[in-house]
Amino acid sequence: MVKNNGLIAFLLFVFLLCFGVSAYGESQDVFKRLHASYPDSIDKITWNYIAWKDGTRTPIRGNVPLLDYLVGLFYGVDYSYGSISKEDVLKDSYESFFKKMYGKSSVEVNKKLVTIYWMPNVFGKRYPLKVTTVNGVDKKLRRISAELEKLPPSYYKYLANPAGSFYWRKVAGQSYLSSHSFGIAIDINSSYSNYWLWDVRRLKRSITEIGYRNRIPLRIVEIFEKEGFFWGGRWFFYDTMHFEYRPELVMPA
């Protein structure tokens, strides 16, 4: 994370003095994009604050982590498969923003969870998943499930036995919470997926040496992304079983 308050303020606000109305318009587009991504939670966004539907506000000016997150959206990230660096992942991980929407603790998040059944017309009730109702994530995941059921049976092996949904925990080796903590993520079948750390350990080579690896058909990825779910296969440190509800990262800029 960038820690220099002056630098962050420069990037978002003094930048306007250098590049004028065009930059202002692009910044407004970022605010509109974030608002459009979470209309059930965000009332409006101004240069000074995010106004939430519950009547509270989160200040923007002087809020370095939030500014860093917005800078990532402002400048954009190369989201092509296997290209997103660890630094960019951190920029996209403003934890307080998600705690505000989904809950600040496991207990708070749990109050907003429901159980859905994964691809029930294919697998019956074998795979119950606990997901949040906030921002309609449960409804979107049900639509994804229904679309995936329409795929040829050859795709089902990638989708059977999902590895998990809600689980309050920190990302391995990191200080911030996993998106699974908020009930907005799902891991599909790990047996047909690639995770960079498993591959590094198995092959006893660095990630740079082994390169990008993926077995998940991109048709599956497209169905998730249509509903606003970001794919872990876009990270350089890839996690191809992983999908999380992050519409601000997958909607057209």
Local confidence band at 32 (pLDDT 50, 70, 90 cut-offs):
confident
In the chain, the percentage of residues whose pLDDT exceeds 70 is 77
Alpha helices in the chain (DSSP H): 5-9, 15-37, 64-75, 86-91, 95-102, 106-110, 120-123, 137-149, 156-159, 196-203, 207-210, 218-226, 247-250
Q: What is the pTM of this model?
A: 0.82
Domain annotation for the chain: domains and CATH numbers: 5-75 (no CATH), 95-250 (3.30.1380)
pLDDT, mean of residues 146-162: 97
Choice between 62 and 27, residue whose per-residue pLDDT is larger: 62
Query: Do the Cβ atoms of 104 and 71 come closer than 8 Å?
Result: no
Radius of gyration in angstroms for the set of CA atoms belonging to the chain, rounded to a whole number: 19
Residue count (the chain): 253
Residues linked to residue 164 through DSSP beta bridges, in sequence order: 187
Number of Cα atoms under 13 Å in the Cβ half of residue 181: 21
pLDDT for residue 104: 94
For residue 244, which of 188, 186, 176 has the smallest C-alpha distance? 186
